[in-house]
Amino acid sequence: MKKVTVPFFISHQGCPHTCVFCDQHAISGSSGALPAAEAILAKIGVWRRSAGERPLEVAFFGGTFTALPEAVQDRLLQPLQGLLASGEVSSVRISTRPDCIDDATVTRLSRQGVTTIELGVQSMDSSVLERSGRGHTAEASEAAIRCIRDGGLAAVAQLMPGLPGDTPAKSFHSLKRVIASGAGFIRLYPVVVLRGTELARRFQSGEYVPLNVEEGVQLCKVLLHESMRSAVPVIRIGLQADDGLNDATVLGGCWHPSLGRLTRSELYYDLLCTLLPSATIGLNCTILCHPARISEVLGQGRINLKRLGSRVASVRIKPDETLTKEELVIESFNHCIKGHVVTDLHYTIDEE
């Protein structure tokens, strides 16, 4: 049963750096003030009433949780202990920097119910990290991932394709490296240029050119596919659509409220093009897919069907619960072809 995440945004709290891309207040729409125990319990109570039978997970996002004084960390986690003991809350997740994790910290957090630690890795290329003002190395990210994994917790690696000095090949190698280090989950956040940041200054002066939405989707498609091949789930693509992200705060870059859906839609379109044989040109065909994947197969505004219009006379989509979410079947006059996103698609990244 899928968990319901109760989020608390502690924007920039504890963080020792201001990276060139960062404006956590805009990203979260929150001032980042640390919640009091009463506010934590009240919010959990509201979410619990609407969650039904689904388990609750409490998450502290946005800041560098483990850089806060230990007493402050304990103050945030202490109200959860009774709920964890009773089963009303099933787990806790926190986010932090790779250079703010060690064995003792992981052990302490584990004892307080933390099961998942998200790391702002962003890149595994030293020049990209330096040009972005991250203040840590790729080796620190590798060590942090191993530390979390060895401590029995799940490590989530957050990657940010399109930073200054980044290339598709560097982003691809960054993904491969965090997977090899033991990351259990991935988040992909292509760069969004926020007003008032150092990156915005570079963008406006012409020093920096971000990925646009189309470029970000094409790159994330390849990264998503590689993660699927490695059996490491990508749990988010693109920043969360939020009141804090709008025309007033976003200056440029790869911003779209449905970036994950756009990315997965491209995967399924590529699979359709791979599966459709030349013998089907001009014929009617039916595409069967898992019910949960109908919107991705159709594409936003039914774009995938429109793009297939030059190859087939007509297309219709039918749900089929016997298929996995990664499978498609194409039926036409005398053809029935089955394909899988992972095994039937192959992508390459040009090296610099």
What are the extents of the domains in the chain?
Answer: 4-257, 275-344
Closest CA to 221 of 184, 175, 181, 267: 267
Q: Give every strand in the sheet of 114-122, ordered side by side.
A: 4-9, 56-61, 91-96, 114-122, 154-159, 185-188, 234-237
CATH 3.20.20.70 fits 4-257, yes or no: yes
The 8-class DSSP code of residue 254 comes to: S
Q: pLDDT band for position 246 (50/70/90)?
A: confident
- CATH annotation of 275-344: 3.40.30.60
- Residue 19 is predicted with a pLDDT of 87
Looking at residue 2, its pLDDT comes to: 87
Tokens found for residue 196: 């008032």
pLDDT at 25 over 70: no
Average model confidence (pLDDT) for the chain? 92
What is the structure's pLDDT at 278? Answer: 62
Whole-structure pTM value: 0.93
Q: Which tokens hold the place of 128?
A: 């990209």
Which pair of tokens denotes residue 299?
């594409």
Report the sign of the C-alpha dihedral through residues 237, 101, 151, 128, in that order.
Answer: positive
For residue 69, pLDDT beyond 70: yes
Please list the alpha-helical segments (H only) found in 52-181.
70-77, 81-86, 103-111, 126-131, 138-150, 168-181
Distance separating alpha carbons of residues 217 and 259, to the nearest angstrom? 7
- Give the mean model confidence (pLDDT) for residues 184-199: 96
Q: Are 138 and 125 in contact (CB under 8 A)?
A: yes
Q: How far apart are CA 142 and CA 295, in angstroms?
A: 36
Q: What is the pLDDT of residue 279?
A: 53
State the residue for tokens 């979390």: 148
pLDDT for the residue 168? 97
pLDDT of residue 241: 74
